[in-house]
């Protein structure tokens, strides 16, 4: 927000625009700016964008002069309202953190309904920097903007560029100081509150501010008492219409994908002794392979089918923890060397030229949800039917033209029905009530 009131006309406004344009030229590629000008009036020159050339052009569009009145408080409050239209957020993939920079060469002179008290009431801790000239007639003083953000006085307009650089450094530092913490807790699900303390390993800062302390509740905890350490593919995700729980995708099932298709995956390590280092390999990349990115929290990958029909085994290895446990060092974490296999998971996929949905149309299971009996229909000859729990255990296996399966003894939950029919494998997801 740049002040273009009458007192800024001429060389002062030119230098202010030059300083603002230099800030834009040095911005991070993912930073977006909106440009405002204000005097007695308030102008949105351009909405938030990352295009450097467009932003510089917007700064040049700020009027050469305004009135002899500066409505600092009114348009400060408008700026806060505008920021609130794009709330801050933090996700594993991106963050949005808002800042507002205001330059004015003097105090509020518009009078009327807008006061310092109203401006202070509008402020709720946002990252606001107010740069103002502190010399001359009508100079901006600390008390003029008390409780409105960080005040940065300058003696002349030539110092503005330096202050913009300091603000930019702080914006980037703050944006790069957000961390997503994922962790497992031995606490059981329930409605209890516990304290957690976070430290940086080998930190040379021993002061109180070197430790972050907060609390967490177990209200939404997933009961994970049976979860082994190791890598898991797609916990809580959906692929090809199948939803996976905390244990993720099953190593014992062949998942079918259509020609030319791709599916996004997430993967993580539970009970890791070391920060994960992942590696995907494929037994036949011409059938399928996984490309992946290193992200905070869950790591993400994309399975891509190739040009060749058939099956491929995709292997995910957390190399760091696999080697650590296998070396025997994991004993410190009660991880025996022979448990290294837990940090290596396989995913079997098939790829045929005909579309997976077409295969699914030729077979159906009902009712779903099911209670006592599950009925199966197929246009092809059924050779075998297997039913797996969501944790990968084979619970039912029948050979031949089975059209009815007893499910009354199965516990309630989600199951995968795997149908083998004339060289095709079809998987249906069912819910047992």
Q: What is the pLDDT of residue 420?
A: 80
Give the pLDDT means over successive 10-residue stretches in the chain (433 positions). Answer: 90 93 92 92 90 95 88 92 85 79 89 88 93 79 92 90 93 78 64 82 76 80 62 63 54 63 76 83 86 64 76 87 87 77 79 41 73 82 81 79 82 82 72 84
Residues 146, 74: contact at Cβ < 8 Å?
A: no
Q: Which of 252, 97, 61 is nearest to 170 (CA)?
A: 97
> Number of helices and strands (H, E) in the chain?
7, 27
How would you list the strands of the sheet with 344-351, edge to edge?
A: 254-257, 344-351, 310-318, 278-282
pLDDT at position 89: 79
Nearest-angstrom CA–CA distance, 77 and 121: 9
> At CA 87, angle to CA 299 and CA 4, rounded to 5?
125
pLDDT at 52: 95
The angle, 0 to 180 degrees and rounded to 10, between the axes of the packed helices 52-60 and 11-25 is 170
Task: Give pLDDT, residue 300.
Answer: 76
Give the Cβ contact number of residue 114 at 10 Å.
19
Query: Could you tell me which residues come within 8 angstroms of residue 430 by beta carbon, excluding any fewer than 6 positions away?
Result: 365, 368, 369, 370, 374, 414, 415, 416, 417
Contact predicate 306/285, CB 8 Å: yes
Please give the Cα distance from 76 to 121 (Å, whole number): 12
The predicted pLDDT at position 391 comes to 62
Q: Which residues contact 182 (CB under 8 A, 6 or more apart)?
A: 268, 297, 298
Q: Residue 257's closest CA among 192, 158, 353, 159? A: 353
How far is 151 from 147, CA to CA, in rounded Å? 9
Is the bond leading into 369 cis (omega within 30 degrees of zero)?
A: yes
Domains of the chain from N-terminus onward: 2-175 (3.40.50.410), 184-225 (no CATH), 227-360 (2.60.40.1080), 362-433 (2.60.40.3080)
Q: What pLDDT does residue 426 have?
A: 73
Helix H segments across 130-269? 160-175
Tokens of 282: 């494929």
For residue 359, what pLDDT is reported? 39
Instruction: Give residue 189's pLDDT.
Output: 64
> Tell me, what's the pLDDT at 296?
46
pTM: 0.52
Q: Is the peptide bond before 367 cis (omega within 30 degrees of 0)?
A: yes
Q: In angstroms, how far apart are the furthest CA atoms of the chain?
A: 96
What are the start-end ranges of the H helices in 3-94?
11-25, 52-60, 72-84
Q: Which two tokens stand for residue 14?
A: 């030119």
Within a 10 A sphere around the Cβ of 168, how many other Cβ atoms?
19
Residues facing residue 129 across a β-bridge: 101, 150
């Amino acid at each position: 927000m740049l002040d273009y009131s009458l007192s800024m006309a001429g060389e002062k406004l030119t230098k202010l625009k030059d300083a603002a344009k230099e800030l834009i030229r040095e911005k991070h590629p993912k930073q977006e700016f909106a440009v405002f000008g204000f005097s007695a009036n308030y102008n949105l020159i351009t909405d938030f964008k990352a295009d450097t050339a467009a932003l510089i052009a917007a700064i040049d569009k700020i009027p050469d002069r305004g009135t002899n009145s500066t409505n600092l408080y009114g348009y400060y409050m408008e700026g806060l309202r505008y920021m609130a239209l794009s709330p801050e957020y933090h996700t594993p993939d991106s963050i949005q953190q808002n800042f507002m920079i205001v330059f004015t060469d003097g105090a509020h002179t518009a009078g009327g309904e807008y006061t310092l008290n109203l401006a202070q009431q509008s402020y709720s801790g946002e990252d606001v920097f107010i740069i103002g000239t502190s010399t001359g007639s009508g100079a901006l003083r600390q008390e003029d903007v008390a409780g409105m953000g960080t005040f940065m006085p300058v003696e002349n307009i030539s110092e503005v560029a330096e202050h913009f650089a300091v603000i930019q450094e702080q914006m980037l530092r703050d944006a790069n100081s957000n961390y997503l913490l994922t962790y497992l807790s031995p606490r059981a699900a329930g409605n209890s509150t516990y304290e957690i303390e976070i430290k940086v390993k080998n930190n040379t800062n021993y002061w109180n501010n070197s430790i972050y302390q907060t609390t967490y509740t177990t209200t939404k905890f997933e009961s994970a008492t049976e979860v082994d350490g190791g890598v898991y593919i797609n916990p809580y995700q959906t692929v090809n219409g199948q939803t996976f729980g905390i244990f993720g995708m099953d190593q014992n099932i062949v998942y079918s994908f259509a020609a030319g298709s791709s599916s996004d995956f997430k993967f993580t390590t539970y009970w890791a002794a070391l920060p994960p280092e992942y590696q995907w390999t494929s037994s036949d990349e011409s059938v399928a392979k996984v490309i992946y990115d290193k992200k905070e929290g869950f790591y993400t990958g994309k399975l891509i089918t190739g040009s060749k029909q058939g099956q491929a085994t995709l292997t995910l290895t957390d190399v760091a923890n696999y080697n650590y446990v296998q070396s025997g060092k994991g004993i410190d974490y009660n991880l025996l060397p022979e448990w290294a296999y837990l940090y290596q998971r396989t995913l079997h996929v098939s790829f045929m030229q005909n579309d997976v949905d077409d295969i699914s149309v030729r077979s159906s299971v009902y009712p779903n949800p099911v209670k006592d009996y599950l009925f199966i229909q197929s246009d092809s000859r059924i050779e075998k039917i297997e039913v797996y729990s969501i944790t990968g255990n084979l619970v039912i296996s029948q050979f031949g033209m089975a059209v009815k399966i007893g499910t009354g003894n199965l516990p309630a939950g989600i199951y995968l029905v795997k149908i083998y029919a004339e060289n095709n494998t079809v998987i249906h997801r069912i819910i047992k009530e």
